[in-house]
Structure 1
Amino acid sequence: MNSEINFRKATPEDAGQIWQILQQAIVRRKNDGSRQWQDGYPNPETVERDIAHGIGYVLTENNAVVAYAAVIYNDEPAYEAIEGKWLSDADFNVVHRVAVSDEAAGKGIATEIFRRIEEYSRQNGVFSIKVDTNFDNTAMLRILEKLGYTYCGEVYFRGSARRAFEKILS
């Protein structure tokens, strides 16, 4: 069966599906023994804010939302205080809140959304992607390693250290 996969900006109509996917990912993180996203973040207001600010993106398969990510241009205050060093000082896109639906989990969808974000970034003249994740989010750490992201140091969110990565796009 062939499926059609698309990457696009999230719309207000997507908010319910996005929140459902994030809730599934929150449970998966907990079941994996991760402390990431176990503190009331992200929440429905986070999704609404992302969409309102035009930074929410979805990956759809046959028009059904299967993954979500926030893509933020040049703006992540926590990244200014990295304990370590970024690969570049160039313009960058930050990727936050990556989540995949239970139905699509384990099928390479998280990798695909990163590939689409990289392609989108290149098309918009941005050749650096920065991302962070919890030290215990083994699934995301594996994806970042597979896609060639370089560990740059630690950043802090809501009092917790997070592993920070960057990839320079060619």
Structure 2
Amino acid sequence: MTEYHFRKAIISEIPQIWDILQLAILRRKEEGSDQWQDGYPNPEVVQKDIEKGEGFVLTDGETIVGYTAVLINDEPEYANIEGEWLTNGDFVVCHRVAISEKYLGKGCAQKMIGCIEDFATQNNIYSVKADTNFDNIAMMKVFEKLGYTFCGHVYFRGGQRKAYEKVLHKSKI
């Protein structure tokens, strides 16, 4: 049984992270999407994520199997949603979710989103907000499977994105 771990990424891991992102960018292109086809994300973005303590990896032993950026209350575009969020308080947002080719179909995206939810509750935040391209069917299915609610649309670099939110429950201690 594979035991995955979710932790902050370190600068020396940028090459492995970038390999995962490059293949994800290519995969989106092959699916006919314009998501991530404009030079974003790139290694500089990943480096900034890590320097700010916002870059995270999902690992299987020593192997990096996924990458995401996790931010707290830091997505200005979310204030301009065409629709309505479920909550207006503190939130965690994840961006740049990418899974290694070798680990596709193994539930790693769901596992990583679950880890992001754990990160939120550990920081006493009970809302996770996220968005994905209007044609990223795989990510939309992950959000739906994990109980996220479609809240409307947000725009990044001119592109429409579907916005989701999940309200987490405070654990009873």
Normalised by the shorter chain, which TM-score bucket?
over 0.9
Q: Does 1:81 align with 2:80?
A: yes
Counterpart for residue 142 of structure 2 = 143
Question: Is there any run of 5+ residues in structure 1 with no aligned partner, and where?
Answer: none
Counterpart for residue 41 of structure 1 = 40
| Whole-Å separation in 2 of the counterparts to 1:108 and 1:13 | 26
The letter for the 2-side match of 1:22 is L
- SS of the aligned residue for 2:66 comes to strand
- Runs (4+) of structure 1 exceeding 4 A deviation are none
Counterpart for residue 116 of structure 1 = 115
Q: Does 1:104 align with 2:103?
A: yes
Kindly report the root-mean-square deviation, in angstroms, between the aligned alpha carbons of the 2 structures.
Answer: 0.8
The letter for the 1-side match of 2:168 is L
- SS of the aligned residue for 2:103 comes to coil
Cα distance, 1:63 vs. partner?
1.5
Cα distance, 1:141 vs. partner?
0.7
Cα distance, 1:3 vs. partner?
2.4
TM-score, structure 2 length as denominator?
0.96
Q: Does 1:72 align with 2:53?
A: no
Counterpart for residue 12 of structure 2 = 13
- SS of the aligned residue for 2:116 comes to helix
Counterpart for residue 169 of structure 1 = 168
| Whole-Å separation in 1 of the counterparts to 2:31 and 2:142 | 15
Cα distance, 1:13 vs. partner?
1.4
The letter for the 1-side match of 2:106 is K
Q: Does 1:93 align with 2:120?
A: no
- SS of the aligned residue for 1:78 comes to helix
- SS of the aligned residue for 2:154 comes to strand
| Whole-Å separation in 2 of the counterparts to 1:3 and 1:53 | 29
| Whole-Å separation in 2 of the counterparts to 1:36 and 1:107 | 23
- SS of the aligned residue for 2:101 comes to coil
Cα distance, 1:154 vs. partner?
0.6
- SS of the aligned residue for 1:103 comes to helix
| Whole-Å separation in 2 of the counterparts to 1:66 and 1:138 | 20
The letter for the 2-side match of 1:96 is H
1:57-102 superposed Cα distances (whole Å, 9 cap, x missing partner): 0000011100000000001010011111100011000110000000
Q: Does 1:54 align with 2:36?
A: no
TM-score, structure 1 length as denominator?
0.97
Equivalent pairs, count: 169
The letter for the 2-side match of 1:122 is T
- SS of the aligned residue for 1:87 comes to coil
